[in-house]
Amino acid sequence: MKLKAPVSIAWIADFVEARLVGDSTIQADGINEVHKITKGDISFVDIEKYYARTLESDASVILINKEVECPKGKALLITKDPAGAYVKLVKHFCPFEPSSKMISDTAEIGEGTIIMPNVFIGNHCKIGKNCIIHPGVVIYDRTYIGNNVIIQSNSVIGGCFYFNKRSNEELLYLKLESCGRTFIEDDVEIGACCTIDKGVSGDTIIGRGTKFDNFIHIGHGTVIGKNCLFAAQVGVAGKVTIGDNVLLYGQVGVSKDLVIESNTVVLAKVEWVNHCLVVSVVWYSGSGCKR
């Protein structure tokens, strides 16, 4: 997420009660967790697995729970609870907005679009022209839908499920609040009872012309290309990248962080995990996947 205006590192350190190490002149202009970092961002790291990746990333400000040498041109904010500090910043810059109407006054709906009964459309959403949104659909805040999109009944667009596991605390899982968005491009069709999560700090994107059957789940921050076809009960975890013209047939599961290249076909009940290990293999073709 990009901020409306840059914020000084001194203010950030004071706000999250952290000790500043490094360049005290930095001004941050975004908030992103490790998978979506760009230059100028505030990010956080609290486990060994991601220390090097975060410190070597483009992040300008890093919330961290370990004494390390500060890379040149960055600022470290030393705190016992980097994830908690990150959540505090997200809540400040992207606070929850309750809704009092089924269709928010801040929502924009294009010409020729049909909104059926019992549809909820949240704050700061935009829906293009000639769409059909069927009964019972829920569209959360900061969702952007293109033209000629069909969403069938009881699908939920823009929810979020992302937790930070704690240690030695009564509350084992800390909810990482989302400041991300969801984009559904032109000519997409989403079946009944599908769930598409918004990005945690970036964007979830469903590419133009892609079609989903019923009971599809797409995790946070996943990017899906153009003209893909997913059959029933496909589950895709967070931070996955899927190319164009990919076919995933019934009950295919895709683990987090994977890349599935364009023109790949995966038939029913295939699970992609880690280094493309395939469980209950039926058949696949195309370029396959990679880490």
Is the per-residue pLDDT at 35 higher than 90? no
Q: Which of 93, 124, 145 is the last residue of a domain?
A: 93
What pLDDT does 279 receive? 43
Kindly report whether the global pTM for this prediction surpasses the value 0.75: yes
pLDDT in tens, 242-263: 999 999 999 999 988 899 999 9
Which residues are CB-neighbours of 136 under 8 A, at least 6 positions away?
118, 119, 153, 154
Pick the most confident of 32-36, 88-92, 282-286.
88-92
Computed over its alpha carbons, how large is the radius of gyration of the chain? 20
Look up 220 and say whether it is catalytic: yes
Residue 41 pLDDT class (50, 70, 90 cuts): very high
- Joined together, the tokens standing for residue 254 give 């895709």
Q: Which residue in the block uniquely carries the two structure tokens 């022209």?
A: 129
- Whether 268 and 280 have beta carbons less than 8 Å apart is answered as no
Q: Which of 43, 68, 93 is the last residue of a domain?
A: 93
When the pLDDT of each residue in the chain is averaged and rounded to a whole number, the result is: 90
Residue 288 pLDDT class (50, 70, 90 cuts): low
Q: Cα(96)–Cα(179) distance, rounded to whole angstroms?
A: 9
Same-domain status, 80 and 113: no
Same-domain status, 167 and 235: yes
What pLDDT does 290 receive? 54
User: Is 102 among the domain residues?
Assistant: no
User: Is 10 among the domain residues?
Assistant: yes
Q: How many domains does the chain have?
A: 2
pLDDT in tens, 47-103: 888 889 899 999 999 999 989 999 999 999 999 999 899 999 999 999 999 999 999
Q: Which of 45, 69, 93 is the last residue of a domain?
A: 93
Sheet holding 138-139, edge to edge: 120-121, 138-139, 156-159, 195-197, 217-218, 235-236, 253-254, 271-273, 277-279
- Joined together, the tokens standing for residue 289 give 């996947």
What pLDDT does 161 receive? 87
pLDDT in tens, 178-226: 899 999 999 999 999 999 999 988 899 999 999 999 999 999 999 999 9
Same-domain status, 15 and 39: yes
Same-domain status, 87 and 114: no
Query: Is residue 250 packed enough to be buried (19+ CB in 10 Å), middle (13-18) or exposed (0-12)?
Result: middle
Same-domain status, 161 and 31: no
Same-domain status, 157 and 222: yes
Domain assignment of residue 277, given as a range = 108-290
What pLDDT does 170 receive? 67
- Choice among 134, 217, 220, 275 that is catalytic: 220
